[in-house]
Structure 1
Amino acid sequence: MLDSDTLVSIGLPVRNGAERLDGVVRSVLAQDHTDIELVICDNASTDGTEEFCRELARSDDRVVYHRQPHNVGLLNNFVHAGRIARGTFFRWVGDDDRLDPACVSRSLSAFAQDERLILVTTQVAYTDPDGTTSTGVYDGGGLLSDDPAERFAEMLRMLNESHLLIDPLYGLMRRASVVGIPRRNMLREDEVFAAKLALAGPWGHVPEVLAHRNWKHERIGVVGRRLGVPAWQARFSSTLQYREILRWLGEAPLTEEQRRRAYAAAHRMYARRQWRTVSHRSRKLVRLGTGLLLPGRAAGRPSGRS
């Protein structure tokens, strides 16, 4: 049974986010669950982030501020927030996200109803750069299963569907169950971690919009530069993800029958990803070929009238 004295830690990794922090900090500290710890992990910011956070920690004892002595990388800073948190439950939040006041309490209610759960997600509203807000409704039950292979297959299915349905990285977790799961700095690591979480235990879901995130589509090469991974990985990101998932399946505590089903689910996900990649490249080639054949494009002549 959970009560208002259950400590919940919210991890806020940030680098050079001074202009964005005020809104997310206010939303975390306004939670109607009273025992909150906000852990800010500053990845050696060079703007006014340090000054903002130190003043915040002085004025509110619920705020813990840690500054990295140098840039440790996006993923390492992200993970460090969970390791230094003290709460029984833990949730990450982005530096330009916002939580509704009942986000934590509604998630804790789901944990209280089912002691098996290691993670509870909520519906999230995503706002695009043009101001359009979208959300998705997840109504599946596979992630509640006691069968890790069934949970794993359901998670991989959703990775090929839509990011709007569910986002385990921004759900509330039993901290002890997840902070020890190893993570590797690579493209699509968030999806690999989601698959590992699915194998670790059952998930609950609150079908209400209780969190808000800003969303923009970035080319995978841009993401790679932010992560600090070699540029060549962008061309092989799906294959590297597939290999990492297979490696983890070989180490996971599964029965042989569960392992066979999990491998089959991974093969299906990879095959579908490859088919989509080939289809996308084929369409680009067709468009390129069509453009080359248009009148006026030969010999570098402009196609429009002068």
Structure 2
Amino acid sequence: MLGTDTLVSVGLPVRNGAARLEGVARSVLAQDHENIELVICDNASTDDTEEFCRELARSDSRITYHRQPENVGLLNNFIHAGRIARGTFFRWVGDDDWLAPECVSRSLRAFAEDERLILVTTQVSYSDPDGMARTGVYEGTGLLSDDPVERFAEMLRMLNESHLLIDPLYGLMRRASVVGIPRRNMLREDEVFAAKLALAGPWGHVPEVLARRNWKHERIGAVGRRLGVPAWQARFSSTLQYREILRWLREADLTGEQRGRARAAAHRMYARRQWRTVSHRGRKLARLGTGLILPGRSSGRSAAGS
């Protein structure tokens, strides 16, 4: 039975985020669930992050501040937050995110109603750089299944859908069930980890907007630079993701029949993604071809018709 004394840890990885941290930290500490631990993992920031965080920790005993002595990379800093947290339940939060006061308590209620769950997600509002807020409604039930392959196939299906529907990396997790899952620093690692989480156990979902995140579209190469992976991975990110998922399926606790079904689901996901990539490139080439032809049809006039 989960009560108000259940410790919930919120991991806040950060690097050079002094100007962004106050809002998210206050939203975590304002949760209506009483027993909260905020774990700030500072990845060797070079701005005023350390000074701000140490002052914040002095002001509230629920805050634990850890500073990496050197830059350990974005992913390793995320992982470390989960490893040093003490809570039975754990959630990551970004340095410019926001949580509704009832975010943790509503998620804990879902855990209390279904003891099978290892993860509970909520609806999230995403703010674009232009300030427009968008969200999506997830209405599926596959992630609740006792069949790991059904959950896995549902997660892979969603990787080709909108990011607005569900984000398992920013849900509340049973920490013991999650922190031991190995992660490899690579492009699309978050999607690989989501697939691993789907195999690990059933998920619940709260169809209410209980968190807000900022969303900025980045080219795959820029993401790779932030992760510190070789530049060549950007050209083969989908293939590397596919291979990593297949590698994990060989290690996962599945029967032979389940492993075969899971591989088939991975093949479908990869094939669909490759088809979309080829289609996108085809449309781009068609637009370029049209652009080359148009000036010849303009009878000597400029493209603007002057």
Would the TM-score normalized by the shorter structure come out above 0.5?
A: yes
Residue correspondence of structure 1 range 182-197 to structure 2 within 5 A: 182-197=182-197
Residues 11, 92 of structure 1: 8 Å contact kept: yes
2:10: which partner in 1? 10
Residues 297, 303 of structure 1: 8 Å contact kept: no
Following TM superposition, the consecutive aligned residue runs of length 4 or more in structure 1 with deviations greater than 3 angstroms are 301-306
Residue correspondence of structure 1 range 232-271 to structure 2 within 5 A: 232-271=232-271
Matches of 1:199 and 1:305, distance apart in 2: 59
1:144: which partner in 2? 144
Q: Tell me the alpha carbon deviations over residues 75-111 of structure 1, each in whole angstroms, 9 at most, x when there is no partner.
A: 0001000000000000000000000000000000000
Matches of 1:232 and 1:135, distance apart in 2: 33
1:54: which partner in 2? 54
Q: Tell me the alpha carbon deviations over residues 144-176 of structure 1, each in whole angstroms, 9 at most, x when there is no partner.
A: 111000000000011111101100000000000
How far 1:297 moved relative to its partner? 9.9
Local SS of the residue matching 1:131: coil
Aligned length: 304
Q: Tell me the alpha carbon deviations over residues 198-227 of structure 1, each in whole angstroms, 9 at most, x when there is no partner.
A: 000000000100000000111101100100
How far 1:303 moved relative to its partner? 3.6
2:135: which partner in 1? 135
Residues 296, 302 of structure 1: 8 Å contact kept: no
CA RMSD of aligned residues (A): 1.3
How far 1:275 moved relative to its partner? 0.1
Of 37-46 and 254-263, the range deviating more from structure 2:
254-263
Aligned AA (2:131): G
TM value normalised by structure 2 = 0.97
Residue correspondence of structure 1 range 63-82 to structure 2 within 5 A: 63-82=63-82
TM value normalised by structure 1 = 0.97
How far 1:302 moved relative to its partner? 6.4
How far 1:293 moved relative to its partner? 1.4
2:96: which partner in 1? 96
Percent identity over the alignment? Answer: 86
Local SS of the residue matching 1:294: helix
**1:227 has 2:222 as partner:** no
Residue correspondence of structure 1 range 176-215 to structure 2 within 5 A: 176-215=176-215
2:115: which partner in 1? 115
Matches of 2:265 and 2:161, distance apart in 1: 14
Aligned AA (1:251): E
1:25: which partner in 2? 25
1:289: which partner in 2? 289
How far 1:292 moved relative to its partner? 1.3
Local SS of the residue matching 1:41: strand
How far 1:236 moved relative to its partner? 0.3
Q: Tell me the alpha carbon deviations over residues 246-302 of structure 1, each in whole angstroms, 9 at most, x when there is no partner.
A: 00001101111111111110000000000000001111111111111121699xx96
Q: Tell me the alpha carbon deviations over residues 3-22 of structure 1, each in whole angstroms, 9 at most, x when there is no partner.
A: 00000000000000000001
Matches of 2:109 and 2:295, distance apart in 1: 65
Residues 156, 266 of structure 1: 8 Å contact kept: yes
Residues 15, 45 of structure 2: 8 Å contact kept: yes
1:106: which partner in 2? 106
Matches of 2:269 and 2:302, distance apart in 1: 44
Local SS of the residue matching 2:295: coil
1:158: which partner in 2? 158
Matches of 1:126 and 1:305, distance apart in 2: 41
1:39: which partner in 2? 39
Q: Tell me the alpha carbon deviations over residues 16-54 of structure 1, each in whole angstroms, 9 at most, x when there is no partner.
A: 000000100010000000100000000000111000000
Local SS of the residue matching 1:53: helix
Residues 242, 266 of structure 1: 8 Å contact kept: yes
Matches of 1:117 and 1:297, distance apart in 2: 63
Local SS of the residue matching 2:124: strand
Aligned AA (2:178): V
Local SS of the residue matching 1:244: helix
Matches of 1:225 and 1:201, distance apart in 2: 32
Matches of 1:255 and 1:41, distance apart in 2: 38
